[in-house]
Amino acid sequence: MKNNLNKGILCAAVAISIASCGNPNSETVEQDATSNTTEVKTEKQGQAFIKDDESQPTVLDIAIGSPDHSTLVAAVQAAQLENALVNAGPLMVFAPINAAFEALPAGTVENLLKPENKEQLAQILKHHVTAGNYSKDFLKKFKKLGQASDLSVKVEVVGDEVFIGGAKIIASVEAGNGIVHVVDKVILPEN
C-alpha cells in the first residue's frame, strides 16, 4: 500500500513538473499571502512566440531582424498581428521602411500606436499583406492585388520598377512562409 502511495505521489509530481514546463507562454497566477491579493501575469501566446533554430525565418522574423523595419515591427506588435505573420502562408508582405513611416504627417504613427486605435492600425497593416509568393518580376503581370484588408491595391510598372499602391519595391527577401517586398512608402487604404 505504501509503495503504491509513493508511486502515486511520484507520478503526480512528474505530471505537475511536465505541465509547468510545457508551455513557456502560459498564464501565471501568483498570490500574495500577506495582502490576500491575486495577480495574473499573461505572456504573449501563439506560434509567433515559439522559437526554434531549424526553421527558415518567417516574414515576421525577417522584419524583426531588419533595423530598417523597427517602426513596422512596433506597429505589428501594437496591433497584435504577430501570429498572423507566421502562418504557413504563402504571404507577401509589402514592408515599409522606417523612412516611409517618418514621411507620414507628424503624429500619425504615434496616434496609430495608441491602444484605442488598434483596429485602424490593424486594417492599415493588413493592407500591406496579400496571399501568394510572387517575385517582383512576376508582379508585373498584375493590374491589382487583393489585400488582407479586403481591399485591393493597384500594381503599376514604370520601366523595370514595380509600384504597389504607389509604393516602390526596393528589395525582396524570401521567407519560409512567403516573401517580404521592401517598399519605400506606407500603403494607405483609399477610405
CB 181 within 8 A of CB 169: yes
* Mean pLDDT in residue range 95-123: 95
Q: What would the pLDDT profile of 127-175 be if each residue is shown by its tens digit?
A: 999 999 999 999 999 999 999 889 999 999 999 999 999 999 999 999 9
* Mean pLDDT in residue range 115-128: 94
Q: What would the pLDDT profile of 33-62 be if each residue is shown by its tens digit?
A: 444 544 444 445 444 444 555 568 999 999
Q: What angle do CA 145, 127, 178 make, to 5 degrees?
A: 70
Q: What confidence tier does 14 reach under pLDDT thresholds 50, 70, 90? A: very low
* Mean pLDDT in residue range 108-112: 94
Burial of 32 (0-12, 13-18, 19+ CB in 10 A): exposed
Question: What is the distance between the alpha carbons of residues 103 and 15, in angstroms, rounded to a whole number?
Answer: 55
Question: What is the distance between the alpha carbons of residues 75 and 73, in angstroms, rounded to a whole number?
Answer: 5
Residue in this structure with the C-alpha cell 500594381, named with its chain if needed:
155
Helix and strand tally (H, E) in the chain? 7, 9
CB 187 within 8 A of CB 127: yes
For the entire predicted model, the pTM comes to 0.71
Q: Where are the domains of the chain?
A: 2-42, 51-183
Determine whether domain 51-183 maps to CATH 2.30.180.10: yes
